[in-house]
Amino acid sequence: MGKMNAQGRLASLTEAGQLLSMTYRAFLNVEASLTGRRWMGPDPAEERLAEGMMQVTRLPMAVCQTLVSRGIGPDQAAGFLEPTLKDLLPDPMVLRDMGKATERFLAAVAKGERIAVFGDYDVDGGASSALLLCWLRAMGRQATLYIPDRIDEGYGPNEAAMEGLAAAHDLILCVDCGTLSHGPIAAAQGADVVVLDHHLGGETLPEALAVVNPNRQDEDGSLGHLCAAGVVFLMLVEANRRLKAQGQQGPDLMAMLDLVALATVADVAPLTGVNRAFVRQGLKVMARREREGLKALADLARMDQAPSTYALGFILGPRVNAGGRIGRADLGAQLLATDDAAKAMLLAAELDRLNDERRAIEAAVRDEALAQAEARGIGALAWAAAEGWHPGVVGIVAARLKEAVHRPSVVIGFENGIGKGSARSIPGVDLGAAIQRVAAEGLLLKGGGHRMAAGLTVAREHLEAAMARLSELLERQGAADEAPRDLRIDALLAPQGATQALIEQVEKAGPFGQASPAPRFAFANQAVHARKMGEKHLKLSLPDAAPNRIEAVAFNAFDGPLGPALMQAGHQRFHLAGRLELNHWNGRTTVQLRLEDASVA
């Protein structure tokens, strides 16, 4: 038998360890934590691989354990910790129709033709639109921006809008939408249509000049993890290459990676492959504060430290989204595209106000949806539906419901007998494909999306049957087999080992996000001093960590048992589990544990 490479050994040992994991005792003997979860640590095979990697690479054990959990072998460690766009960027021409799309786009630019950009109303659509608008502006060209109204027009191109745009433009670029828009694209008579999208394609494609989409059925899926902004960026890479071959200088694409990073994280795209490099480099670009819209939004949100994936997903992303959810649909795209500082401040202020309004609406719908889903009983699918729920918040509430029950989740708001809903999935379950199938079977008026997120429209009389069929399809994918009561621990750390230097090294395995979660560390047998922050949050200091200063923060801890139990700790000692991060405040940098769970020691 020939020698297996490091990746092969890793896969074999990890698989063997997973098969045996059920027989291992709980990590730190935590069978039921304060939140009712069983803690699961690395299996012996992973531990051996991490120890072997540490000997070869001289990296800290915590870093090696993080790499092993991602399937990285010793020979791949250096490249993984320093991902570069040069090494990871695919050839744009591997995508079908890329040549036709780029050729038509450059021809329109060269001839000064009238160009329209039709984008989705979310962050990915706004960022994709802004990429094109900024690139064209750098080339001395302008384009018409069209973002459909979420309530009046719904998702994607519609016939009236496409007819109107075609009458006044030579080329229409549909970004983050269009793959399933057969009728609307056929209605765009007199204009060429290019689709740059990532949503799941159907058996047939619309009659566009080009449909560039890594999730077309005739693609191999190797780039299926890209969001729409990633697809648009690849077309601009190809455009710049062709300009260079003609002796022309194209716009600076590296300076646009902040938009690609924002879209990638906000659209919950997997942070694997080239997406890691997009986000890693994009965060560096964003830290330069050169984009007026993001600078204004960050200042209003009081971001006082370097941007992170958390900031993209939970601070900037929701604000950019707010216009499409409950305000004017094009506000986000306009903010991301503008180079006018005064206009950026006005747009950012309006989006910040709308985001506050969105939060209030979301909170009311979230409480009702969770109660309804729990009362119904949760199997392979959690779902909730009601009259009057704002269609602009059902996506966020679906995400909150998914997080609460760890099942694919659907939330639907009805008006006049028609329900518009959003769905969010869990890793390993292709929700978009299942919804698309239910739509093809006639139980939904329409539906589609990608693996982790999708949208749907359903008639009230078909609601129960549609949800039952969707649940059946998801159960076949194993959605009901997930074990939300298990908490995965990557490594055990002593408080004295949780240093700033270690965290900086661990962060090189990031950026962390979808399909690449930040490692979770446990601290055993700790004394805690607890205090409340506001009404819901908890802050802890760990006196045993001296001389290191480590504090822990648990957001929304008083929504469950974690906050009350730790506030009454007294002289009890606890095992703690969570993610490590650096907290920058008043010019000081300290180690902070974002606490997720605890157990009496």
Instruction: Tell me whether the omega of the peptide bond preceding residue 92 falls within 30 degrees of 0, making it cis.
Output: no
Q: What is the CATH number of the domain that holds 383?
A: 3.10.310.30
Residues 323 and 470 in one domain: no
Residues 338 and 268 in one domain: yes
In a domain, 287, yes or no: yes
Pairing of strands 418-424, 409-415: antiparallel
In a domain, 275, yes or no: yes
In a domain, 357, yes or no: no
Residue with tokens 């819901």: 536
Residues 467 and 492 in one domain: no
Residues 219 and 182 in one domain: yes
Residues 210 and 337 in one domain: yes
pLDDT at 7: 40
Residue 358 to residues 150, 350, 387, Cα–Cα distance (Å): 14, 12, 18
Q: Give the residue from 300, 325, 352 where a domain finishes.
A: 352
What is the rounded distance in angstroms from the CA atom of residue 256 to the CA atom of residue 65?
34
Residues 27 and 46 in one domain: yes
pLDDT at 11: 41
Q: Tell me the H-state helices in 246-387.
A: 257-266, 274-287, 292-300, 309-311, 317-326, 331-337, 341-376
What is the rounded distance in angstroms from the CA atom of residue 187 to the CA atom of residue 533?
56
Residue with tokens 């744009």: 92
- Tokens, residue 73: 């072998």
Considering Cα of 581, then 584, then 588, then 593, what sign does the dihedral take?
negative
In a domain, 359, yes or no: no
Residues 468 and 428 in one domain: yes
In a domain, 122, yes or no: yes
pLDDT at 482: 55
Contact present, 348 and 293 (Cβ < 8 Å):
yes
Considering Cα of 453, then 458, then 460, then 461, what sign does the dihedral take?
negative
pLDDT at 24: 61
Q: Give the residue from 352, 377, 404 where a domain finishes.
A: 352
pLDDT by 10-residue block (mean), the chain, 601 residues:
39 41 75 93 91 95 93 94 94 98 98 98 97 98 96 91 98 97 97 97 95 97 97 98 97 98 95 96 97 97 90 95 91 98 98 94 94 92 96 92 92 96 92 95 93 94 97 93 76 91 94 91 94 93 82 91 92 95 83 95 93
Task: Please give the tally of structural domains in the chain.
Answer: 3
Residues 142 and 291 in one domain: yes
Residues 194 and 230 in one domain: yes
What is the rounded distance in angstroms from the CA atom of residue 564 to the CA atom of residue 530?
10
Residues 137 and 60 in one domain: no
Residues 212 and 341 in one domain: yes
Q: Give the residue from 307, 325, 352 where a domain finishes.
A: 352
Residue 425 to residues 317, 428, 451, Cα–Cα distance (Å): 19, 9, 7
pLDDT at 544: 81
DSSP string of 203-266, one letter each residue: SS--S-SEEE-TTSTTS-STTTT--HHHHHHHHHHHHHHHHHHTT-PPP-SGGGHHHHHHHHHH
Four-point Cα dihedral 126, 128, 129, 133, nearest 10: 130
Residues 376 and 515 in one domain: no
In a domain, 448, yes or no: yes
Give the domain range for residue 509: 6-82+486-600
pLDDT at 6: 38
Its pTM stands at 0.87
The candidate with the shortest Cα–Cα distance to 428, out of 476, 473, 381, 478, is 478
What is the rounded distance in angstroms from the CA atom of residue 474 to the CA atom of residue 408?
8
In a domain, 12, yes or no: yes
In a domain, 107, yes or no: yes
Q: What is the CATH number of the domain that holds 490?
A: 2.40.50.460
Q: What is the CATH number of the domain that holds 282?
A: 3.90.1640.30
